[in-house]
Amino acid sequence: MAIDQVTLDILWARLIATTNDQAAALMRSSFTSIVRDAADLAAGVFDRRGRMIAQAVTGTPGHINSMASGMIHMLNKFPADSLRPGDVIVTNDPWFTASQLNDITIATPVFKNGRCIALFANCCHALDIGGRGLSADSRSVFEEGIQIPIMKLMDQGKPVEPLWDIIKQNVRTPDEVVGDLHCQIVGNEQGAKQLLQFLDEFDLDDIEELSDEIINRSERAMRARIAMLPDGEYPYQLTVDGFDDPLVIKAKLIVDGDHLTVDFTGSPGQVPLGVNVTLNYTTAYTNYGVKCALAGDIPNNEGSFLPLTVTAPEGTLLNAAFPAAVGGRHLVGHFLPSVVMGALADAMPDNVMAPGFDGLWDTHIAGVERGSGRHFSYTWFSAGGTGAMKGKDGMSATAYPSGIAGVPAETIETLAPLVVLQRSLRVDSGGPGESRGGLGQTMEIEVLTDEDYLFSGLYERTKHPAPGLHGGAPGKTGALRTNNGADLKPKITTMLSADTVTILEMPGGGGFGSAYCRDATLVLEDVMDGYVSVEQARTAYGVVIDPETMTLDAALTQKQRKTIS
């Protein structure tokens, strides 16, 4: 029996509130800024069949969508009827969840009248997982840290002590890592408490009927959106830096009625270093790109995934085979929404965004603190500029598609012996266009130590800029510098001398539409705001501005634009 619309709206709102409470409990109790401030996590509720029904508004697509497919693997190992109250399941298997060992998924069954009726799950980035640390210069997953197969972390309320001991013994920051595991459990327990409360209010024994209604409606809505696209094939390719040689991601979107297939055949084979991507993570970010372009208003759940198929040949960059190195998988996986957008650029130009910096910039520094002799290990995430859309400039220093929040300089300086000497937007880094690409940012970091320290960065777009769309120009590439000429590699761990100050210059997003069509007054505003230089205004936009008076010369601008065109 179908649920009436009013009741469905109320139940849906309660489900979303429940998952938001789940995520809030996790974040507010977290031991790390990665979870607490950057929100590198996902939280959601699943029915007893392992289908994701709803997710919290906070979180990353790579976590939530990978977790959605990973729950089936968990229930294959531990069927719902075999679980008991107090059980907690855990894994960080990259081939089943978020494609990186640092990302740990925890699932907790919910019971009503002695029967498992649902599961709450969340996925968080652990501060450390052992191995080489957060880097992409590993040769296999065995170098990247502890691998936790799908197993119980808690067994009927009792800790599985050997597993906890192994984790504590093999990570550099055991208090933070183990603390966050407890917080993940607490988050799920909060979600379960809220779910049982509203089931009692509505006199429901389980969520199966509600789950069917939500999933069926979401699937129908998603199929209707896909059916609006003309049948056919839509190819696109995007170049990223890779290591020594660039990697060209090739995709073909195939629309057949109300079904969409994204085929990555033709993309590179898997590489011997850690930027390989498992298929579930490829699927996660591909689905997100499709949702952003076609159906941002449709709930993200099992139903919205059903009309989509993502394929890549096994043993290739986007469907890496075990035991491929995957520690920096986001340096490829985060570019997949831009590939989807590029493929759909002609079919739906009003809905797509030009490629941006895309690949989140991760920085890891470890060493010995000056004065105290305390060993420290700290990681934070930073963002460049997003691509522009028709009628909308790109966002500056904003993490798309990951959704990771920037960590304040004050937080970085409080949690580690680091000083942020500079944090500013990079002038001229956004790709020129009728809509301008978002700006990257510059960060200058000093380490308070008297000993050599470890520096590891997972950085992309230092060689190949984010291209524009529909005549827009590319954004500026990123760059790495030091105060003493020390050589920094974008994806390689390096030991630096104590006096080394590092400067990170992050890439900008691509522009959309011809820069000569941008309103000259908007260019003037950009110059006055420090986003665009007077020189770039003239050479890229054809807009002439007097640098002394900061006024627009309309006659010279008209002449300049006519000359350029």
User: pLDDT tens across 466-511, in order?
Assistant: 999 999 999 999 999 999 999 998 998 999 999 999 999 999 999 9
Residues 6+ apart with CB under 8 A from 305: 65, 68, 287
Domain-ending residue, one of 161, 188, 219: 219
Binned at pLDDT 50, 70 and 90, residue 563 comes out as confident
Same domain for 408 and 554, yes or no, is no
Contact 43, 22 (CB under 8 A): yes
pLDDT band with cut points at 50, 70 and 90 for residue 27:
very high
b/e 351-378 (16+ beta carbons within 10 angstroms → b): bbbbbbbbbbbbbbbbbbbeeeeeebbb
Same domain, 438 and 541: no
What's the rounded Cα separation, in Å, for the pair 467 and 243? 19
Give the DSSP per-residue string, 135-155: -S--SSGGGS-----SEEEEE
Query: pLDDT tier at 223 (50, 70, 90 boundaries)?
Result: very high
CA distances from 168 to 130, 141, 162, 431 (A): 10, 20, 10, 46
Please answer whether residues 115 and 84 qualify as being in contact, where contact means their C-beta atoms are separated by less than 8 angstroms. no
Distances (CA, A) of 333 to 61, 88, 116, 278, 324: 11, 29, 34, 9, 15
Q: Which of 197, 219, 241 delimits the end of a domain?
A: 219
pLDDT of amino acid 135 = 82
Strand partners, 495: 454
The residue segments making up the domain with residue 79 are 5-219
What value does the mean pLDDT of the chain take? 96
Cα separation of the two ends of the chain: 63
Q: Decide if pLDDT at 390 tops 70.
A: yes
String of DSSP letters for 508-546:
PPPPBS-GGGS-HHHHHHHHHHTSS-HHHHHHTT---EE
In a domain, 373, yes or no: yes
Q: Could you tell me if 442 and 502 lie in one domain?
A: yes
**Beta-sheet pairing, 308-311 with 259-263:** parallel
Q: What is the largest CA-CA distance in the chain?
A: 80
Residues of the chain above pLDDT 90, percent: 95
- Answer yes or no: is 165 within a domain: yes
Same domain, 378 and 461: yes
In the Cβ-directed half-sphere of 307, how many Cα atoms lie within 13 Å? 28
Q: Can you give the pLDDT at residue 3?
A: 82
Residue 371 has pLDDT above 70, yes or no: yes
C-alpha 287/C-alpha 192 separation (Å) is 28
**DSSP for 368-414?**
E-TTT--EEEEEEEE--PPPPBTTBPPPTT--TTT-PPPPPHHHHHH
Identify the bridge partners of residue 26 per DSSP, sorted by sequence position. none
Q: What is the pLDDT of residues 80-96, one digit of tens each?
A: 999 999 999 999 999 99
* Domain match, 109 and 162 both: yes
Tally of domains within the chain: 3
- Residue 524 located in a structural domain: yes
Residues 506 and 526 in one domain: no
User: pLDDT of 41-73, one tens digit each?
Assistant: 999 999 999 999 999 998 899 999 999 999 999
Q: Would residue 76 count as lying in a domain? A: yes
Average pLDDT over residues 441-449: 98
d(CA 164, CA 152): 11
The verdict on 371 and 509 lying in the same domain is: yes
Whether 365 and 458 share a structural domain: yes
pLDDT at 450: 97
Check pLDDT > 80 for residue 287: yes
Considering the chain, what percentage of its residues have pLDDT values greater than 70?
Answer: 99
Does residue 2 have a pLDDT over 80? Answer: no
107 occurs within a structural domain: yes
Are 38 and 169 members of one domain?
A: yes
Q: Is residue 1's pLDDT more than 60?
A: no
Last residue of a domain, one of 219, 253, 276: 219
* Interval 297-321: pLDDT, tens: 999 999 999 999 999 999 999 999 9
Asked if the structure places residue 319 within a domain, the reply is no
Q: Does residue 263 lie within any of the structural domains?
A: no
Judge if 458 and 545 occupy the same domain. Answer: no
Question: Does residue 186 surpass a pLDDT of 80?
Answer: yes
User: Mean per-residue pLDDT for 125-138?
Assistant: 90
pLDDT at 380: 94
Q: Domain check: are 527 and 419 in the same one?
A: no
Cα gap 410→463, rounded to integer Å: 31
CA–CA gap between residue 115 and residue 315 (Å, rounded): 41
Residue 305 is assigned to a structural domain of this protein = no
With a cut of 60, say whether residue 189 has pLDDT above it.
yes
Tell me, yes or no, whether 526 and 427 share the same domain: no
- Confidence band of 565 (pLDDT split at 50, 70, 90): low
Return the HEC string of 24-72.
HHHHHHCCCHHHHCCCCEEEEEEECCCCEEEECCCCCHHHHHHHHHHHH
Q: DSSP labels for 212-277?
A: HHHHHHHHHHHHHHHHTSPSEEEEEEEEE--SSS-EEEEEEEEEETTEEEEE-TTSPBP-SSTT--
